[in-house]
A = this chain, B = another copy of it.
Amino acid sequence: MTSTLRRRPAQRRSLERVERMLDECAVLLDEVGYEALTTKEVARRAEVPIGTFYQFFPDKQGLVRALARRNLDAFLRRVTERLSHTTLEHWTDLIDLAIDEFVAMKRTTPGFGVVDFGEVLVTPGGPALEGTNRMLDSVLENNAIVADRLRTLTRELLGAPAGENLDRALLVAVEATDAVLKLAFRTDPSGDADMIAECKQLVHRYLSDHLP
């Protein structure tokens, strides 16, 4: 995939700028939501001229996509980090750990409540004429990345099981988890605890068909 950025920031200054823009994008998303987010305001808050903004991001969606990507990286890093301090008894522990980490990020990482890994919006541009929307593709890909990582971890944990169906099952599980957790946070802005528990239950039940 071609990078989500137009120009990859080479020098320190540019790199900081890109980070600042992503930071401000995140807090603005929390403040006003995706639709009301304006590139001008992001640029203004990050103290970057609008022209420069467009040197790095192809468009508004590109900005949000880049943020989603950063969120994904952070998530995987945090999960890996916690795994290095923990010994898992059962594959269900892995699931629970991942869900807990996701929930923690929902609560603390700015903007994560709105975009997490990318599913803010919005539309597959059908057989569209032009400018078809890459957003959903990126969700697909991002959730697929999570699923892939989980598969690897599961393999490591359990020796070497897994028909090819496991891949699909994990993807389904990730997608379902994503949706239910979103529901949990819509129901209760701090994350409905009962629903989070239900989410774990859902995934455990489902995956027990595919794992020991």
User: Which A residues are closer than 8 A to B by beta carbons?
Assistant: 29-36, 61, 113-114, 120-129, 131-133, 136, 140, 168-169, 171-172, 175-176, 178-180, 182-183, 186-187, 194-195, 198-199, 201-202, 205-206, 208-209
Contacts and interface: CB of A to CB of B under 8 A. Distances in A.
Given A172-B199, A186-B136, A33 B125 contact: yes
B33 A122 contact: yes
Contacts of A202: 172, 176, 202, 206
A45 B128 CA distance: 17
A39 B143 CA distance: 32
B206 A36 contact: no
A33 B124 contact: yes
Given A175-B179, A175-B180, A183-B172, A35 B205 contact: no
A131 B195 CA distance: 29
Contact of A33 (B120, B123, B178): B123
A36 B182 CA distance: 25
A171 B183 contact: yes
A20 B127 CA distance: 22
Nearest to A133: B33
Contacts of A182: 175
Contact of A168 (B35, B120, B198, B209): B198
Given A33-B122, A121-B122, A175 B171 contact: no
A195 B179 contact: no
Nearest to A192: B168
A172 B186 contact: no
Contact of A120 (B122, B187, B199): B122
A32 B209 contact: no
B180 A125 contact: no
Contacts of A133: 33, 35-36
A119 to B, nearest CB: 9
Given A176-B176, A206-B205, A140 B35 contact: no
A183 B182 CA distance: 16
